[in-house]
Structures are given as C-alpha cells and as structure tokens.
Structure 1
C-alpha cells in the first residue's frame, strides 16, 4: 500500500475515534487489502495517538477462537495495542458516549512480570513470565460503519479495541489449568453467555507465546508490566446505556462494568 494511502486511512480512523463518527470499510473500495496492509495503517494510527500523549500498556489478541478465524478466512489471530487511556478498574462507570457501536466480551487478562521477545518463545516460557492473572471485560468498538469489517479493516482499527475493565490482580492459581477455567457472563443479572479459557487459542498462555513470537518478528518485545488480553471466551454482547455487566470466573473472581448514558 502506498505511504500516502496508509497515512490517509490512519487519519480517517483517528478522526473517527475523536468525533465518534464511523468511516466506510477500506475494503469496500479496495477488496485486495490484507493483513499486512491493516498493520501498516495500525502502526501509523498508533503513532498519531501516541503523539497526543497516550501510552501503549500492553497488547490484545483477537480472532483467537476457531469460529472467528473461519469467519475471516484466516488461521491465525490478530493483535493490537492496549492504550493507557482505555484501561478502567473493576466497577468502573463507563460512558457509552465514548464509543460508536460498543459490545462487551469477557476474557482472561495477564500482566507480565518478565519480558518476552520472540521468535521461539514457548508456552511454558510464556507461563513463567506471567506475574498476575485478572478477570477482564473488553469493550470492543468499531470505527468502521455498521461493523462491516474485513480483516484489514479490523486490524487497522486497533483490532477493534475500545477499552478494557480489569478485575483484581491475582498470582496465577497454583496447579490451575486455565484452559478449564469456566466463566459466566451476566447482563443486568441475567446469564447471557458462558465460556472457558480454552476458547482463547486452546490455552490463554498460548496467546502470550503467540504474541511474543509475532511481535518479536517485528523487533518488538512484550515488556514486564504490560497487559496481555487473551481473547473473548464467547460472542460479544451489545452494550446499552444502563447496562451492568458482570463476568464471574472460576478461581479468578469477578469483574463488573456499569454503562452510563453520557
């Protein structure tokens, strides 16, 4: 993709984020756009956001489940940065006006205690680098009209990341197999979804290894203290004003999000 097109598309997403007005899918006008094009735009968009004073505090993986990969016709996840301005604590009241078309999904989140840089990072090495595990709620949002996203569109748009709400940090439970960690997801007290850790690439720690190896291929390391969001354990649920979402995880506790109208 020509540099000018990269800058133009990144600027369009930057303005869409600022004004809360979505843009048409880039793949509408150029269906040939692929994963590499999406990451080129993402990199430029991140540059614009960091110039405003934001910080990268971790990374999210998306498309970590087989059904989502099949939907996009890929065999690998995608990724995007987690920005400091988008991280909330458990019980936060988050204004729906901060988003365009938000949805909520529960996932397991890690905080690293040691850096990891691929290639060659194993799942066991990833496990050893994790210092904390947290119950998490990701608010996914799309700056692309009506969520009509192709692969390049969602990657360019920071992997459709909107925000994250983090539960209480815990040391990784001794002897626990996070693949088997169950989760119940409630909206307004009603059970709307369930899931288990294995939905995230078969093993949440495998997501950490995948991210370290993928980023390492571009000279980027996962650093100590950074967050790793390992991917949704269920289909995303639309977010509405007045909603309260709670995700209850086996052995990891719960995390709560309140949605305000303004």
Structure 2
C-alpha cells in the first residue's frame, strides 16, 4: 500500500506522544504496537518529525550523533513498503562497535545483521544539489561495515512510517579497520559473504545500493537538506545494505569476508 510522502497528518502532540513511546522502548529494550494502524493517513513527513523528537530526547539525555544510516536502498524493499525512495536514521556514539568485539545479544530486539560500506566524511555535505563528485571529494575513507538492526516497533505488518519513526531500525554499526580511498576503484564491485557460525547466509556486491553506494550518500545529503539538516565533517554514513537481513541468535559469531581483498580484514562480531 502506498504511503503519502509529503505533508503532515498528525498534530505536534501526537508526534511527541509517539516519540516518547519510542524513547521509552529504546531505554528498556522493548517494543511498542505498530504506529501506522493507530494513525490512519500518517505520512512519511510525520515519521521524520517523530524521529527528530526521538533524537532530541536522546541528545537531551547526553547522546551524541556521530553519523547517519540509509535504508531501503533496494528495489525489492521499496516495493514491499510502498515507497520509491530510501529512508534514513541517525547513529549515536554508543551505537558504534569495533570489529572483533563481543556484544550482548539482549541489548537489542529482533536482532538481524546486514553488510554495508561506511563513508567517513572529512568535509560537510549540504543539499540540495549534491553531486557524486562532491561526495567522493568530501569522503576521507570507505570502511567495511556491518549494521545490527533493531526494532522498537513490532515487526509484523510494519510500513515505511513505522520504520522511519523507529530511527530506520538501527541498532548499531560494526566498523572494520580497513580504510579504502574513495576514488581508487569502482566501489560497486566490492563483494562480500556474510557467515553466521561459519555458514554462508548471504552474499552481495555494493552495487546493490542504488547501483552505486556513493549515490546513497548523494540521496541522503539532499534529503537532509529538505529537512534543514546536513552531513557534518567527521560523521560516518552507513550507505545501505547490499545483503538481505540475517537473523542472529545468542552465542552466534557473525563474520564478513570481502572476496579477493587482502586489504580488507574479515569483519567479525560475537553475540553473547
């Protein structure tokens, strides 16, 4: 079912009430009922308004934004949600994990992982009108990454407005140590295999992200510009997954190998 992308259907009071529900679920690690059936006619702009209030609550509590994530970059996921563009969320400092760490599975709900590339920015990017060349020039390095998905809204029956309201379902990002030059190669052909406990669960190439992961960052900078925001120097951007989500159980070890790349180490995280 198609969801309206523009305009606001919810009052400011409704937006704040939903954001506070999500803030409490984030604090406790719980989930809330679907937002979309409770607010018929809710729009994508309503969802981003909820996300902004949720973000403000975390910042008021001492959280520090260190980046952004992009979601829904594949045609299949866009068709499934009834919207023809990606979505985004923010990344806080306490959501950054180094490859090789052991983490608590219970820290998140509905734990799934996706393989991505991350862009570390050395310059500010403000839309509209950002170009691919500007993104490459503003990028300090490309880093292999794994996104841990988390949902504070029940999964069954979610629409795009539920996902955006819930900070695009970001749980955390796992970053490798490799730092690739942004203009040294065709990033679209970087391929990876995702294993759980040694079994290959997903494979893909970075071109699954809008045909070119750089274009994900272009889209994000322009979209943030529409909302009066920008990508800041020093931020890290998760450019979008090029594998399907893989479910992870307590006790599992997730590893990502980059085919034929001696310059990229195996990315790994253990869920205790």
Q: Same fold (TM over 0.5)?
A: yes
Segments of 4+ moved more than 3 angstroms:
250-253
What residue number does 1:101 align with? 110
| Equivalent position SS for 1:146 | coil
> Structure 1-normalised TM-score?
0.96
Deviation at 1:174, TM superposition (A): 5.5
Matched, 1:113 2:100: no
Task: Name the CA distance, whole Å, in 1 between partners of 2:40 and 2:169.
Answer: 19
Displacement of 1:150 in angstroms is 1.1
| Structure-2-length-normalised TM-score | 0.92
Work out whether 1:256 is the aligned partner of 2:268. yes
Distance 1:174 1:210 in 2: 19
5 Å matches for 1:125-164? Answer: 125-164=134-173
- For residue 146 of structure 1, report the CA deviation from its aligned partner: 3.3
What are the superposed Cα offsets for residues 120-153 of structure 1, whole Å, 9 maximum, x if unpaired? Answer: 1111111111111111110111101235321111
Whole-angstrom CA distance in 1 between matches of 2:177 and 2:19: 35
The match for 1:50 is 59
Q: Tell me whether 1:219 sits opposite 2:228 in the alignment.
A: yes
1:85 corresponds to which of 94, 106, 109? 94
The answer to whether the 8 Å contact 1:135/1:247 transfers is no
Count of residue correspondences: 260
Q: CA deviation at 1:213?
A: 0.9
Task: Tell me the secondary structure at the aligned position of residue 106 of structure 1.
Answer: strand
- Post-superposition Cα deviations, 1:41-90, rounded to whole Å, max 9, x if no partner, equal 00000000111101110100000111111111111100010111111111
Q: CA RMSD in A?
A: 1.2
Q: Does structure 1 conserve the Cα–Cα contact (< 8 Å) formed by 2:136 and 2:183?
A: no
Question: Match of 1:195?
Answer: 204
Q: CA–CA distance in 2 between the matches of 1:193 and 1:72?
A: 22
Q: Please give the alpha-carbon distance, in whole angstroms, between the structure 1 residues aligned to 2:83 and 2:183.
A: 34
Aligned partner of residue 202 in structure 1, secondary structure: coil
For residues 254 and 33 of structure 1, the distance between their equivalents in structure 2, rounded to whole angstroms, comes to: 42
Preserved contact between residue 136 and residue 182 of structure 2 (Cα < 8 Å):
no
Which residue is 2:216 aligned to? 207
1:122 equivalenced with 2:134 (yes/no): no
Runs (5+) with no aligned partner, structure 1: none
Q: Which runs of 5+ in 2 are unaligned?
A: 1-9
1:173: Cα distance to partner?
6.0
The SS at the match of 1:155 is helix
